Structure 1
Amino acid sequence: MIRPRLRALSRALGVALVFGLIAGGALPAAAASYQRISGEGSSWAALAVQQWQADVKSQGVTVDYVPSGSSQGRKNFAGRIDAKFAVSEIPYRGDTADKRDDSYPDFNFTMMPMVAGGTSFMYNLEVNGQQFRDLNLSQQAAAGIFSGTITQWNDPAIAADNPGVNLPAQPITVVVRSEGSGATAQFTLWMLRQFPAAYQQLCSVSGECDGTHATSYFPAQNKANFVAQSGSDGVTKYTVQTSGTINYDEFAYAQQAGFPVANLKNAAGFYTTPTDTAVAVGLTQAVINSDPNSENYLAQDLSNVYAYQDPRSYALSSYSYFMVPTQTTNQFDESHGATLGYFTQYSLCEGQQTMGTLGYSPLPMNLVLAAMTEIRKIPGLDAPTTAKLDAVANSALGADGGNPCNNPTFQPGDNPSHNVLVDKAPFPAGCDEACQAPWRLASAGVAASGPTFDAGAPAAAGGAGAGAAAADSTAAAASTKVCDSDTGVCVEGTANTVAGGKVTPVSTVIPGQQGWAGPQTLMVLVGGLLALFLVAPALVSRVLSKAPRKRI
């Protein structure tokens, strides 16, 4: 009776040990100790953040996020009010700054790009009794609609973009954001730069802006056909529920709702939508602030994106940003920093894989590397996160040319400045071989009829530009701008750097990537315990059989 019981006990202990180890080791060792943190800000980028939240939640890490709008997010981050990080399309200061947003952190912080996307024009319109899903809009017509000078769907300016379509004589209801938003700031900056007369007319009627500066608060006052709603969800829901409406927001929201967006006419005369590839093409003309001493380091200037003449380009493409502390405060300690470091590196790396299907566009690898340099400044980074950052830099910049991020913009062995999404971008209908040829050459780094490219430059980011502010004319005149055909950035001065500084290779490996690490060790331990589970009963039985038996 004793021997069978011992065998059963041995098996039970083995099973308990195996499953206990699996339960405890299925997650990164640090996951159990990552403290819960919260962030706040952009709703334009919220669907991306929510995807990353869900991803890390499955790994045992909890990150909360409130999509209250960029203005409120920056304010609460600066005031240390329930926001360990912020998300915004614009910085605190620069051409996109609004006088109503006067908060500024009293602690050290940095901003880094986190995802790209396109501001789209989602609409709800019926033609001949059926939902119309193929609306074309010129940029001028879009500016007319959102400045209030075009108020009917059958306006000649819209009809000119849609020949043969029986557009209804129906009022246009323009749905805008009610709160301060980075999306509004970028959108009004586009109007100001591309259609200043329309923007000035909008400001003069509303009285809410001066017509010479962008604003984060859409000036809808005194516009009878304008409706303001809170957040990206708010404008999306109102548009879905109301016929004759049109709004501006990130493409992901329209895609999620199953509603169409306007095909926007670009500078080449072709109508495009903000797919991941069209956004990637457009952002090859973005100018990124490359001065590491600037308060707006890595911020974007989109002036050249609006007028880019690549037929594949989407004109209203832009980046969104994390804002993170680089010092501890009474509201942010190293335990918060450990979680934030893990979350941001995940977002920049594996998190980019789903961005295209979600309705955004993944960051090019060189901007990922630049952002990872900023992550290193977060206090409290743990060893696994640091190892991941090292491995990414070593592989992407080193001899092996690997891709431990599995970043969809990067092909192993390629230069980090080469965005493969640009190569994959389809040309629009009507663009024949002669139309395509110059841009195919440009993508290959051959100067053709178009911008001057330097495909060999790793190009981190470059240019002057506070937020979306244009580069200072004096600085621009004294420097040489090199625009890379694939990276999404232009560079002022030396191009052979990443985010203004070289990344020093360090020989390390990280969990979850190539090489020996935690998962591999876990597999060996589990295998050993399984073996022990199988052989332990026999060993125990053998020992017992050799033991002297007590006579009764």
Structure 2
Amino acid sequence: MTDRTPRSRTRRLRVGVVAAALVALSAAAPALAMPRAAAPTAPISGSGSSWAGNAVDDWKAAIKAQSVTVNYNNAGSSQGRKDFANGLADFAVSEIPYTGDTADPKDNVRPDFSYAMLPVVAGGTAFMYNLKVTGQQFKELKLDQLTLAKIFSGQITQWNDPAIKATNPGKAIPQQRITVVVRADGSGATAQFTLWMLRQFPAQYKALCSTTGGCDGKHATSYFPTKNLSNFVAQTGSVGVTTYTSNTEYTINYDEYSYAQNLGFPSAQIKNAAGYFTLPDQYAVAVALTQAKINNNKASDNYLSQDLAAVYPYKDPRSYPLSAYSYMIEPTETRGNFDKAKGTTLAYFEQFVLCEGQQTMGRLGYSPLPMNLVLAALDQVQKVPGIGADTKAKIAATKNGVKTGGANPCNNPTFKPGDSPSNNQLIKSAPFPEGCDAACQAPWINAIGTGGPGKNPTGNGTGTTGGTGTSGPGTTGTGGDGTGAGPGAGPAAGGTSCDPVTGLCTGDQGSGAGTGDPNASANPYNLTRQKTWGTAQLALLISALLVALLVLGPPIAARALDGGTRAPRRVAGTPPVSADPPAPPTASPGAP
């Protein structure tokens, strides 16, 4: 006879629930923990910037762990652009484009195929030096920008020059000749540095060109001239320049901040337009580049390229004036040895660089790209022929995550899920320099979106700010956090709407100013790796639950099978009680 008692039905229900949960979790966990799609196998090779070389090396190593091979020759931006144009490299990295007012007239090789530019990292040109004061390595050198221009134009040649002593009061700087170490090869670092001299200190730049005959005084150059400058030494590549400096006392050079950091040598603190001495860390660079004007003409070969004219004189006390973006140059059609298989790898690599690759940039001595510039760059990635479906899906997921605000699938450290991609979290968490009191900070805290001034002190467009200051005048240290939030600024003249963080504009170009909300509240955000909640995290949770149920499931199921029919606990002194129900009475012999 079938047991249809309530107890048996309850028992079967319990067993069914446990079994269903185990089956569901067993099916769900593998799906959610599905391994990433197969990485592309065609190796690619690039050439170019050594200024960005440490960043590229970091990305190469990280992508190698995914079995993707990327080779890179950090021969300098000029050589990289030539190699790319001549079909000797699948991509190039450069701080300057092929054409425009920042291009070097000496570099006249152009690609005969279609290509696109995309920013890949930000950074600051630092001035690493090797100087001892009273027998100890001097780590607090401060220079104003005019003095810097005079040193690199050959007009100041002694370490104890009055101009240097004026910004380093009380320091026993020795009477020694300055050895200026510059790049021997064509480089984006030289191009950006001489462009700064040309725009900020044209008299000093013309003096350099006149003395050496190596430039015309009207254009920046990628090849630093040294003729007739007896205290100048030229070395090849960023490694050559910085190695020579580290091994030679009384030297100073220019190159990306990461090289000085790697060698453990100090860089000069440079006085910005607000009167504070800063170093090119990730915060100070992020601040400065809020003033970069980005080319918004999508029909231009130089789309997304930078104009730094408003960066140099920016008056946020946290800004580092010699900040810039570095770019990757990609083909947008197959040609020569570059086929769709290589395109699959290149697009995969670029997507990684723009997202996960930005995580380590601050630690290396660079500054990660703001999220809205990342989004524009990802559109450029989709122009690469042969881009894989997996890469397209990642780009779509990033855009959707930013749009919905629910996650940060790109894992870019400048972006906080739910916030605007224009709000660079680096800027929100940037400290003010020591010596910048409440009155100094106020215009930058009462700011639009991410820390820009309520009224732009420079009068050039609208911007948001943040960054670091190493010291106030005559001191060294870091101050408290300064952040800001508020509505965006008014549109620029001519109907232009410009992103205040990157300078990326839409519509006709123009200029204008706007005001921030004076009642905006500070909302500091601690810049750490984004703890996003996505498929990977859910898979881990499901897997943990599955393991727990596999361990605990059998005893739970056994208990369910018992259905609560176990014998009651025996009380001492009482006879054992059978767990079986009593047998029905039987008839006695002879009973009627």
Once residues 65 and 386 of structure 2 are traced to their aligned partners in structure 1, the CA distance between those partners, rounded to angstroms, is: 22
Report the counterpart of residue 178 of structure 2 in structure 1: 172
1:122-168 CA-partner distances (Å, limit 9, x unpaired): 00001111110000000001000000000000001111111111111
Give the drift of 1:494.
7.2
SS of the residue corresponding to residue 87 of structure 1 reads strand
Q: In 2, Cα distance between the equivalents of 1:437 and 1:376? A: 42
Matched, 1:43 2:11: no
Match of 1:53 among 44, 50, 60: 60
> How does 1:77-156 map onto structure 2 within 5 Å?
77-81=84-88, 83-156=89-162
Residue identity matched to 1:259: F
CA contact (8 A) 1:251 1:274 kept: yes
TM-score (norm 1): 0.80
Q: Does 1:70 align with 2:85?
A: no
Deviation at 1:429, TM superposition (A): 1.1
- TM-score, normalised on structure 2? 0.75
Matched AA of 2:184: S
Preserved CA contact (<8 Å) 1:281 1:488: no
2:417 is the counterpart of 1:409:
no
- Give per-residue Cα distances to partners, 1:409-442, cap 9 Å, x unaligned: 1111000111111111111111000000101112
Confirm or deny: 8 A CA contact 1:288 1:491 kept in the other structure.
Answer: yes
Deviation at 1:444, TM superposition (A): 4.9
- The correspondence for 1:479, drawn from 491, 494, 502, is 494
Shift of 1:53: 0.3
- Indicate conservation of the 8 Å contact 1:481/1:492, yes or no: yes
Matches within 5 A, 1:486-505: 487-489=501-503, 491=505, 493=507
Residue 399 (structure 1) shift: 2.3
What is the CA distance between 1:331 and its match in structure 2?
1.4
- Asked if residue 254 in structure 1 is aligned to residue 260 in structure 2, the reply is yes
Per-residue deviation at 1:96? 2.0
Give 1:275's aligned residue: 281
In 2, Cα distance between equivalents of 1:306 and 1:446: 16
- 1:375 and 1:176 map into 2 onto residues whose CA distance is 34
Q: Tell me how far apart the structure 2 counterparts of residues 449 and 515 of structure 1 sit (CA, whole Å).
A: 39
Match of 1:240 in 2: 246
Q: 1:458 to 1:366 in 2, by over 3 A?
A: farther
Q: What is the CA-CA distance between 1:447 and the residue it aligns to? A: 2.3
Q: Quick one: which amino acid aligns to residue 438 of structure 2? A: E
AA of the residue aligned to 1:42 = S
Cα distance in 2 for residues equivalent to 1:245 and 1:122:
8
Matched-pair contact (CA < 8 Å) for 2:372–2:502: no
Q: Give CA deviations for 1:40-76 in whole Å, capped at 9, x if unaligned.
A: 0000000000000000101111100000000000001
SS of 2:327's equivalent in the other structure is strand
C-alpha distance in 2, partners of 1:47/1:337?
Answer: 23
C-alpha separation between the residues in 2 aligned to 1:358 and 1:26?
Answer: 32
Report the CA distance between 1:480 and its aligned residue: 5.3
Q: How far has the Cα of 1:94 moved from its partner?
A: 1.2
- Taking the aligned partners of 1:260 and 1:427, their CA distance within structure 2 comes to 21
Aligned pairs for 1:327-476 within 5 A: 327-396=333-402, 398-442=403-447, 443-444=450-451, 447-448=454-455, 450=457, 453=462, 456=487
2:564 is aligned to none
Alignment match of 1:220 (pick from 208, 221, 226):
226
Residue 402 (structure 1) shift: 2.3
The verdict on how the C-alpha distance between 1:230 and 1:288 changes in structure 2, with shifts beyond 3 A counting, is same
Query: How many aligned positions are there?
Result: 468
Question: Residue 453 of structure 1 contacts residue 482 of structure 1 at CA under 8 Å; is this kept in 2?
Answer: no
**1:39–1:263 distance in 2 versus 1, CA, 3 Å:** same
State the secondary structure of the residue aligned to 2:265: coil
Q: Deviations over 1:62-119 (max 9, x none)?
A: 10000000000000100001x1000000000112222221111111110000000000
What amino acid does structure 2 have at the position aligned with 1:29? A
Indicate the SS of the match to 1:330. Answer: coil
Shift of 1:330: 2.1
CA separation in 1, counterparts of 2:226 and 2:269?
24
Deviation at 1:26, TM superposition (A): 9.3
**Contact 2:444–2:454 (Cα < 8 Å) also in 1:** no
Judged with a 3 Å threshold, the aligned counterparts in structure 2 of structure 1 residues 104 and 457 are, in CA distance, closer, same or farther, namely: farther
Aligned position for 1:510: none
What's the CA shift for 1:517? 8.5
Q: Is the 8 A contact 1:282 1:488 kept in 2?
A: no
Preserved contact between residue 27 and residue 59 of structure 1 (Cα < 8 Å): no
CA distance in 1, matches of 2:105, 2:116: 21
Q: Judging changes above 3 Å, is the alpha-carbon distance between structure 1 residues 112 and 458 closer, same or farther for their aligned structure 2 residues?
A: farther
How many angstroms apart in 1 are the aligned matches of 2:139 and 2:288?
23
SS at match of 1:304: coil
Determine if contact 1:28/1:518 at 8 Å carries over to the other structure. Answer: no
1:98/1:165 CA distance change after superposition, 3 Å: same
Give 1 or 2 for the bigger CA radius of gyration.
2
Shift of 1:446: 6.5
The list of structure 1 runs, each at least 4 consecutive aligned residues, that deviate by more than 4 angstroms after superposition, is 454-459, 480-485, 513-521
- C-alpha distance in structure 1 between counterparts of 2:504 and 2:167, whole Å: 32
- In 2, the alpha carbon distance for the partners of 1:160 and 1:132 equals 16
What is the match of residue 29 of structure 1? 37
Deviation at 1:221, TM superposition (A): 1.4
Taking a change above 3 Å as real, the CA distance of residues 372 and 302 of structure 1, as seen in their structure-2 partners, is same
**Distance in 2 of aligned mates of 1:98 and 1:315:** 22
Q: Distance in 2 between matches of 1:69 and 1:444?
A: 35
Closer/same/farther in 2, CA of residues 429 and 51 from structure 1, 3 Å limit: same
Partner of 1:181 in structure 2?
Answer: 187
CA contact (8 A) 2:496 2:508 kept: no
Question: How many angstroms apart in 2 are the aligned matches of 1:439 and 1:384?
Answer: 42
Q: CA deviation at 1:448?
A: 3.1
Q: 1:413 to 1:117 in 2, by over 3 A?
A: same
Q: What is the deviation of 1:403?
A: 1.1
1:222 deviates by 1.4
Q: Give, as a single letter, the amino acid of the residue that structure 2 aligns with 1:267.
A: A
State whether residues 126 and 255 of structure 2, in contact with CA within 8 Å, keep that contact through their aligned partners in structure 1: yes
Query: For residues 315 and 90 of structure 1, what CA distance do their matches in structure 2 show?
Result: 17
Query: 1 CA distance for matches of 2:149 and 2:59?
Result: 34
Two-structure CA RMSD over aligned residues (Å): 2.7
Could you tell me how far apart the structure 1 residues matched to 2:410 and 2:235 are?
Answer: 38
Contact 2:142 2:270 (8 Å CA) reproduced: yes
The alpha-carbon deviation at position 482 of structure 1 amounts to 5.6
1:284 and 1:483 in contact (8 A); partners too = no
Report if aligned partners of 1:252, 1:360 keep a CA contact under 8 Å in 2.
yes
Note if contact 1:479-1:492 (Cα within 8 Å) is conserved in structure 2: no
Match in the other structure for 2:482: none
Which structure would you say has the larger RCO, counting Cα contacts within 8 Å and 6 or more residues apart? 1
Q: Deviations for 1:6-61, whole angstroms, at most 9, x for unmatched residues? A: xxxxxxxxxxxxxxxx9xx9974322x42111100000000000000000101111
TM-aligned CA deviation for residue 377 of structure 1: 0.2
Once residues 495 and 214 of structure 2 are traced to their aligned partners in structure 1, the CA distance between those partners, rounded to angstroms, is 39
User: Does the aligned pair in 2 maintain the 1:482–1:492 contact within 8 Å?
Assistant: yes
CA distance in 2, matches of 1:131, 1:516: 50
Distance in 2 of aligned mates of 1:126 and 1:330: 53
Deviation at 1:294, TM superposition (A): 1.2
Classify 1:172/1:26 alpha carbon distance in 2 versus 1 (closer, same or farther; 3 Å).
farther
Match for residue 21 of structure 2? none
What letter corresponds to residue 85 of structure 1 in structure 2?
Answer: F
Worse-matched range after superposition: 165-174 or 435-444: 435-444
